[in-house]
Amino acid sequence: MSEGQADAAAAGGSAVQGEAGEHSPSKGTPFEVFWVALKLGLTSFGGPIAHLGYFRDEYVVRRQWLNEQSYADVVALCQFLPGPASSQVGIIVGIIRSGLLGGLSAWFAFTLPSAVALVLFAYGVEEVDVSDAAWLHGLKVVAVAVVAQAVWGMSRSLAPDRERATIAILAAVAALAWQTAGGQVLVIVVAGTIGWRLLPASPTQGEHVSFSTGIRPWLAISSLVMFVAVLVALPLVRQVESSQWLAVFDGFFRVGSLVFGGGHVVLPLLQSEVVGPGWLTNEQFLAGYGAAQAIPGPLFTFSAYLGTAMQSQPNGVAGAALALVAVFLPSFLLVIGVLPFWDVLRTRPALQSALQGINAAVVGLLLAALYRPVWTSAIESTSDFGLAMVALGLLMLWKWPPWLVVVLTAGVSSALAALAGM
């Protein structure tokens, strides 16, 4: 039997469904899941929406670990959960394929390449004087283009009508007026309430297909209880315990618990959590954010750079590990807690309506972040504005890959600075 036939046979076995349409949870091995996810982690450029396309090609079309409808159901679930949507989809596919260890393997392999790259970048930045580096300023400029592209793309899908566009605009105004993590959380809560009360639920398209995950109800409930307990208890414990390790874990756990959709949406909350307390400078933050655009994998691994580059302990590799675990832990707890009950939850109109309001507010938060800190920190001259517009055109009109635009913009920024100094 050839390798392709073996893959097809294994995939076919995992995709076989009974009359109830359920997938067996353990038709592969965690090692198999690891290698497939590692390939995706090395090649998946373009953010969470692009990642979902890569996942579909690999998991549905090529390997047939689950069918189209099941994959659509998984993606729909992850739109309801806070955290990085593409990483959560990978975790769920891993669970379906090989149980909880498969989910852990899928996350670790998909996250590893970008996390290692950003840790190395953080160490490289520390070794040189970057206070006036022109290439560093170029990374800040290209961040303007990347975030602007994200705002435009997300607004078309998440705020396509007057009602949701209005929510997005009001959310942006509120976020700029109240620039704290608490203010952003309040904006999300208010928007969800408005959506629940005023926006009609989107009708579910087609018949959904259930799948078995092997997660027992007691484990699911325990995971949800742990999620709520950690989210509520950590800020209270910090009132009596001044540990910096605890503060870092709390900050990144809260970010992972409150960001819907993942990708560039994480920018304003992360900026508030790490720049506000003085753990990093805004220049360091934007430099890492720009570098994160040039690598594949989930943007949430930007946390690895932040943990490494912090000015006080925990930093370095330990800080990177702490930040990564904290920011992704909510996704694991929520996926394990909600997945067994998804068939019931997904039919509730109230949740669908609330999510519409929340998603519109997310667009507004990202719009606010586009202005401050991204624009105000990067655009200092007409040449900066022109370079940002060129980068935006290459991304949106010519569809250049983000990593190439990042490299080009950093190089042009250095060249312009050299010419100005002649």
Residues 158 and 298 in one domain: yes
Residues 37 and 160 in one domain: no
Residues 101 and 141 in one domain: no
Q: Which residue has the tokens 């679930």?
A: 77
Residues 320 and 382 in one domain: yes
Exposed / middle / buried, residue 313 (Cβ in 10 Å: 0-12, 13-18, 19+): exposed
pLDDT of residue 270 exceeding 60: yes
Structure tokens of 9?
């046979």
Residues 281 and 371 in one domain: yes
Of the residues 90, 105, 120, which one is the last residue of a structural domain? 105
The domain tally of the chain equals 2
Residues 138 and 94 in one domain: no
Of the residues 105, 124, 141, which one is the last residue of a structural domain? 105
Q: For 97-106, 243-252, 290-299, 375-384, which range has the lowest pLDDT when averaged over its residues?
A: 290-299
Q: Cα separation of 46 and 403, whole Å?
A: 9
Residues 185 and 328 in one domain: yes
Of the residues 105, 120, 147, which one is the last residue of a structural domain? 105
Please report the pLDDT score of residue 29 as a whole number: 92
Calculated CA dihedral for residues 218, 188, 325, 64, nearest 10 degrees: 70
Residues 32 and 150 in one domain: no
- Closest alpha carbon to 415 in 396, 394, 387: 387
Residue 252 inside a domain? The answer is: yes
Residue 125 inside a domain? The answer is: no
Q: For 193-197, 250-254, 332-336, 363-367, which range has the lowest pLDDT when averaged over its residues?
A: 363-367
Domain that holds residue 65: 3-105
Residue 79 inside a domain? The answer is: yes
Residue 91 inside a domain? The answer is: yes
Residues 363 and 403 in one domain: yes
Q: Which residue has the tokens 């995950």?
A: 213
pLDDT tens, position by position, 317-353:
999 999 999 999 999 999 999 988 876 676 688 877 8
Residue 422 inside a domain? The answer is: no
Q: Cα separation of 24 and 22, whole Å?
A: 7
Residues 270 and 374 in one domain: yes
Strand partners, 98: 26
**How confident is the prediction for the chain on average, in pLDDT?**
83
Residue 88 inside a domain? The answer is: yes
pLDDT tens, position by position, 361-384:
878 887 988 898 789 888 999 999
Residues 253 and 360 in one domain: yes
pLDDT of residue 161 exceeding 90: yes
Residue 120 inside a domain? The answer is: no
* Alpha helices by DSSP H, 300-401: 302-309, 316-338, 342-345, 349-369, 376-378, 382-396
Please report the pLDDT score of residue 392 as a whole number: 94
Residue 211 inside a domain? The answer is: yes
Residues 10 and 149 in one domain: no
Mean pLDDT of 274-298: 87
Structure tokens of 106?
């899928």
